[in-house]
Amino acid sequence: MVNPAKFDRQQVVEQAMLLFWQKGFHATSMRHLQQAVDLRPGSLYATFGSKEGLFREALQQYAAHGERLLAQLHAQEGSALRALQLFFHQAIIEQGGRAPSRMCLLAKTVAELTDANAELLAEARCQLKRMEQAFLRLLQQAQADGELASGCLPEQLAPFLQMQMMGLRAYMQMSCDPATGERMLQQVFMPLRVVPS
Amino acid sequence: MVNPAKFDRQQVVEQAMLLFWQKGFHATSMRHLQQAVDLRPGSLYATFGSKEGLFREALQQYAAHGERLLAQLHAQEGSALRALQLFFHQAIIEQGGRAPSRMCLLAKTVAELTDANAELLAEARCQLKRMEQAFLRLLQQAQADGELASGCLPEQLAPFLQMQMMGLRAYMQMSCDPATGERMLQQVFMPLRVVPS
DNA sequence: TTTGAACATGAACGACTGTTCAAGGCATAA
DNA sequence: TTATGCCTTGAACAGTCGTTCATGTTCAAA
């Protein structure tokens, strides 16, 4: 390497991701991004090729962070079901005001983009499916551990959970009331509890 | 009236609404709109004032159509709970491919816009709340008619239903599988059924 | 037929979009 | 020290954005 770049690529993607998360793809201009990551257009285009290229990496980084968090919660809690519940609580209640948006960046992207950005749309859909598969593995683990009512079907519950995650965060974006969020969260996880016989 | 306009205002708003619904606020340009409604910029700006003004009317027309449909279903079915279920089925399964987007325009708007378009964002939130109140009235009616388990609390169920409506449509935008949609729809309405004693 | 107000038209505005590129700075290898 | 390649810089490009406005058209009332 003759003259290595002076910036940290991952840090740049992180900053860009936060801006995209806040404003969405179309409303985030390259000029905004250039200012946020303190790079001139030439460096950005040499590194990521295009606005789409930068956004793609932002999506991947966002999804990777989510998967990492879920695995970490599972590791530190031991219980798979409790990890899922904490993950939901974190996404919907705790990070509520601090994050750039109450909604999931992937869901926002699926909502905003069309076939005009087919590759980005496919990327977001794919990453959402990956999260759903992570849910599925945890549900199967929970059932094996007897945490989840044996009558439940994890293959049906995983999409249902993903759907409710998207719904909860979209609803919070609409109403912003943490009490309602907390209550709905309980309504989501109530039927998963094992009934004491 | 000296020289009445030659176009039908409601028809213009309808066309604009369909375009906004498909592409979102930012990705829909005034040039696109001008072409879609076959009006020159002067006429559009004389009528609606701005892109935001046109979008606001599109939001209102969309929401009004939803409320009208729900009331119509209630009238023709008699049953409040059945009206709700049909409304969900229509939004999620039937209109799936035909509509400009699988998602609700109001939810898409809440997902896309920020404080940079504070009034439009408030309008979309307000219309979503109106729909939730329509859900509430139907749930109360259903409970009074004995269709809804008496243990349910409509004040808690209405936001929960709204949340799941947003989630279902966002999920369909991601995965587009009608079988999964149908199954999740059943999962949503299952707990509302009265248990035969 | 003349008048005048409402409506229709489309060229044009300044600002902003994503992107390119020639020029200069820098750090390593010779 | 010189030479060689990568990196950085910021002006500039063509295109599009939302919006305006002078001009032309239309039509009921006078």
> Tens digits of per-residue pLDDT, B149-186?
888 999 999 999 999 999 999 999 999 999 999 999 99
- The reply to whether residue B170 touches residue A166, judged by beta carbons under 8 angstroms, is yes
Distance A64 CA to C15 C1' (A): 38
For the segment A140-160, the average pLDDT, to the nearest whole number, is: 96
The token pair that represents A191 in the structure block:
């039927």
The token pair that represents A76 in the structure block:
């530190």
> Tens digits of per-residue pLDDT, B24-60?
999 999 999 999 999 999 999 999 999 999 999 999 9
Q: How far apart are CA B10 and CA B64, in angstroms?
A: 12
C-alpha A147, offset from chain centre: 25
Q: Are B158 and A163 in contact (CB under 8 A)?
A: no
Domain residue limits, chain B:
9-192
Q: What angle do CA B37, B39, B41 make, to 5 degrees?
A: 125
Strand (E) or helix (H) holding A170 = helix A154-175
Could you tell me the pLDDT band of residue B195, with boundaries at 50, 70 and 90?
A: low
- The reply to whether residue B184 touches residue A27, judged by beta carbons under 8 angstroms, is no
Q: Which of B157, B164, B169, B190 to mutate to test the interface with A (most CBs of A within 10 A)?
A: B164
> Tens digits of per-residue pLDDT, B53-83?
999 999 999 999 999 999 999 999 999 999 9
Q: Residues 6 or more apart from B123 whose CB is under 8 A from it? A: B56, B59, B60
The token pair that represents B29 in the structure block:
């340009």
Could you tell me the pLDDT band of residue A177, with boundaries at 50, 70 and 90?
A: very high
DSSP category for residue A146: T
Comparing CB atoms, the residue among B26, B128, B180 nearest residue A159 is B180
DSSP secondary structure string for all residues of A45-89: HHHHSSHHHHHHHHHHHHHHHHHHHHHHHHHHH--HHHHHHHHHH
Residue A197 pLDDT > 70: no
Mean pLDDT for chain B overall:
96
> Tens digits of per-residue pLDDT, A64-83?
999 999 999 999 999 999 99
For the segment B112-136, the average pLDDT, to the nearest whole number, is: 98
Please, what CATH class does the domain formed by B9-192 belong to?
mainly alpha
ipTM: 0.95
- The reply to whether residue B111 touches residue A168, judged by beta carbons under 8 angstroms, is no
Kindly report the backbone phi and psi dihedral angles of residue B97, in degrees, each rounded to the nearest multiple of 5, phi listed first.
-85, -25
Q: Where are the alpha helices (DSSP H) in chain B?
A: 9-23, 30-37, 41-48, 51-77, 80-89, 105-112, 118-144, 154-175, 178-189
CA of B123: which chain A residue's CA is closest?
A: A174
Q: State which protein residues have CB closer than 7 Å to strand C.
A: A 1-3, 28-32, 41-42, 45, 50-52; B 1-7, 39-43, 46
